[in-house]
Homo-oligomer: A and B are copies of this chain.
């Protein structure tokens, strides 16, 4: 049964094979049109999974778009949440909402997040995006069906890359332990990950015998043959055993230039609308009669006008000043924009000259700039270890290498590289005081369209309270380079938190940098270049200027604090001491206490859950200032909530993390004291 009326049980929509083939084309075409409109998104996987999704949503699973929470529906989990465009297309085409809305993919407030959010759209069983977690959720649903004698089936769509994650094998073991014959896992076996083929990244074969040895019934099928997929998906369960369907697919399937091309994992057509690798070429190849190029043009218009509305809404949310202080909006105060992560890459490339330096990758080495270690240095291949998407094991292997005298760098997005391996960091790395260096990339909401699951907001609190750990949070690319080099050669565990996006370059090679000593930054008046309008010195060399306020920040938000200092001076004549607390552990206590005593009013800024950094500052001041020193502190950060999809700067604005908001809060604070 496919789409049904949950009240009567009547089949509402059923499709023959010819129609299903058309639907699969629609899913692909709507997905790629939306990804093009978004300017980013996971092309490869959305294409490879389309036939599986068409079979499930339009022929196999019982569901009712008018009653998404119908308790007897079959459950479909998307463990690999990055295939969201295909999911959104399925739900739209099924009738959960108008399918054309999918073109608002990855845009702020649209609900069509980079990875699915169950609160924003109907029909999503669970928010996902962090790999290797869907099968456990599905087991929960399947166990519940057994407990309540319900006949619904639970399906879980998985990628092959996520089979690197140990949590998948924990789940596999437990599903067999509980004889969940109402559970069907489907592996979209497209053989490609991000850094290369599955065999290169982490060999998972022999896959069928792995699942069989974990107690599963295994079916292998052509994942692009809808009739064969339907056969195995609807097939009777093997009593007492969960079933896994290994569906052989082609990543990018249907788009000539993306088929089996590793680079098309997470990007839109390179040539945009027209050209050899364009939406036009893609749609011509896919051949959907409904979602053709004419329709695409109409959809792109919808996307554009939606974006224009958002632009207005975002800009109107900011406080008004006498002029536009935004980055590079005037002819003076010019600044270069450079991704924070570049500095990490440059440093790692240089550090690689030392044979003790080794690097371990988790299948996103390019994105986090770890690839700079080996890209132009083939002789270093033996010192780079692809560990797959398996952060826990990566951490302990690095510890073993460190123990033998190597200086290993491990890295991934900050959420995963502090969160999937926290106990490994604690026990194997920190308790042993091993010389492991942790690259926490994609810090903060400025990650942008990927959304909440990929926006790390808790690494400071995750790492600060671990004994032996050191933590640096550089403000720009040059500082990221210095910080990386600095932590490489201190003894013991250390981590660097750095961001993805291009952010203002506010330091140079000559700017003072000393691990554990904060920089004091003072605005000195408008200059042609932003960087020249500030003095920067070590806190230990700074003489009090009786400023009106101190702003203490770490990471790229330091640049917003600097711009806030500029605004506060120009608009209100206020002098601001900006402290760039690039080393969060060990933290420059003296610099903080001096600022508290001397300026009395402080604001902390963090692109992090509020207080993760700010509370540390508050703690230091509270403990070390004199009891009678008057003092007030406020914090700016992410207000105990998750991130969103949107453009990086949009998010920074609506989350109140830009200079305009910082300046306003600072001004209010000064006025009310």
Residues of A within 8 A of B (CB): 117-119, 125-130, 133-144, 147-148, 164-171, 173-174, 176-178, 202-204, 206, 209-210, 212-215, 358, 382-383, 385, 387-388, 390, 392-406, 408, 415-416, 418-420, 422-424, 426-428, 430-433, 452-453, 457-458, 461-462, 464-467, 600-601, 609, 611-612, 614-616, 618-619, 621-623, 625-628, 630-635, 640-642, 673
CB distance from A354 to the nearest CB of B (A): 14
Contact A419 B415 (CB under 8 A): no
Q: Which residue of B lies closest to A141 (CB)?
A: B400
Known: A461-B462, A627-B631. 13 other contacts (CB 8 A): A133-B423, A133-B427, A139-B393, A142-B400, A164-B173, A170-B392, A173-B388, A176-B203, A177-B388, A465-B609, A466-B609, A623-B634, A627-B630
Contact B628 A633 (CB under 8 A): no
Complex CA–CA separation, A167 to B423 (angstroms): 11
Contact A204 B173 (CB under 8 A): yes
CB distance from A272 to the nearest CB of B (A): 33
Interface of A is mostly: helix
Q: Which of B173, B399, B461, B466 contacts A140 (CB 8 A)?
A: B399
Chain B residues with Cβ below 8 Å from A402 are 140
Chain B residues with Cβ below 8 Å from A392 are 133, 136, 166-167, 170, 420
Contact A140 B170 (CB under 8 A): no
Contact A147 B422 (CB under 8 A): no
Contact B139 A400 (CB under 8 A): yes
Contact A173 B406 (CB under 8 A): no
Complex CA–CA separation, A404 to B169 (angstroms): 23
Contact A396 B140 (CB under 8 A): yes
Given A136-B397, A615-B616: A141 and B427 interface contact (C-beta under 8 Å): no
Given A385-B178, A642-B431: A126 and B210 interface contact (C-beta under 8 Å): no
Contact B166 A168 (CB under 8 A): yes
Contact B609 A614 (CB under 8 A): no
Given A126-B403, A633-B622: A464 and B461 interface contact (C-beta under 8 Å): yes
CB distance from A158 to the nearest CB of B (A): 13
Chain B residues with Cβ below 8 Å from A462 are 422, 461-462
- A141, A164, A627: most-surrounded residue (chain B CB, <10 A): A627
Q: Which residue of B lies closest to A204 (CB)?
A: B173
Copies of this chain, tallied across the complex: 2
Q: Which of B147, B170, B428 contacts A136 (CB 8 A)?
A: B428
Q: Which residue of B lies closest to A137 (CB)?
A: B400
Given A166-B166, A213-B210, A385-B143: A399 and B126 interface contact (C-beta under 8 Å): yes
CB distance from A137 to the nearest CB of B (A): 4
Contact A165 B173 (CB under 8 A): no
Chain B residues with Cβ below 8 Å from A627 are 600-601, 630-632, 673
> Could you show 27 A-B contacts with beta carbons less than 8 Å apart?
A128-B428, A130-B428, A133-B424, A136-B397, A136-B399, A138-B400, A140-B402, A140-B403, A141-B400, A141-B403, A143-B385, A143-B397, A143-B401, A166-B169, A170-B388, A174-B388, A206-B213, A415-B423, A415-B427, A419-B423, A431-B453, A461-B462, A466-B609, A619-B635, A621-B622, A622-B632, A627-B632
Chain B residues with Cβ below 8 Å from A397 are 136-137, 139-140, 143, 171, 174
Contact A432 B118 (CB under 8 A): yes
Chain B residues with Cβ below 8 Å from A128 are 427-428
Contact B144 A404 (CB under 8 A): yes
Complex CA–CA separation, A631 to B177 (angstroms): 58
Chain B residues with Cβ below 8 Å from A126 are 399-400, 403, 428, 432
Q: Which residue of B lies closest to A621 (CB)?
A: B622
Contact A171 B396 (CB under 8 A): yes
Contact B173 A203 (CB under 8 A): yes
Q: Which residue of B lies closest to A163 (CB)?
A: B173
Chain B residues with Cβ below 8 Å from A133 are 392, 396, 423-424, 427-428
Q: Which of B127, B403, B458, B621 contacts A466 (CB 8 A)?
A: B458
Given A212-B213, A392-B170: A400 and B144 interface contact (C-beta under 8 Å): yes
Given A139-B397, A400-B137, A627-B631: A170 and B174 interface contact (C-beta under 8 Å): no
Chain B residues with Cβ below 8 Å from A168 are 166
Contact A404 B173 (CB under 8 A): no
Given A209-B213, A422-B420, A431-B642: A611 and B600 interface contact (C-beta under 8 Å): no
Q: Which residue of B lies closest to A203 (CB)?
A: B177
Q: Which residue of B lies closest to A602 (CB)?
A: B622
- A135, A144, A167, A210: most-surrounded residue (chain B CB, <10 A): A167
Q: Which residue of B lies closest to A142 (CB)?
A: B400
Q: Which residue of B lies closest to A167 (CB)?
A: B392
Given A399-B137, A453-B427: A166 and B170 interface contact (C-beta under 8 Å): yes
Chain B residues with Cβ below 8 Å from A401 are 140-141, 143-144
CB distance from A119 to the nearest CB of B (A): 8
CB distance from A154 to the nearest CB of B (A): 8
CB distance from A182 to the nearest CB of B (A): 13
CB distance from A384 to the nearest CB of B (A): 11
Chain B residues with Cβ below 8 Å from A117 are 431
Contact A419 B428 (CB under 8 A): no
Complex CA–CA separation, A144 to B144 (angstroms): 47
Chain B residues with Cβ below 8 Å from A203 are 173, 176-177, 215
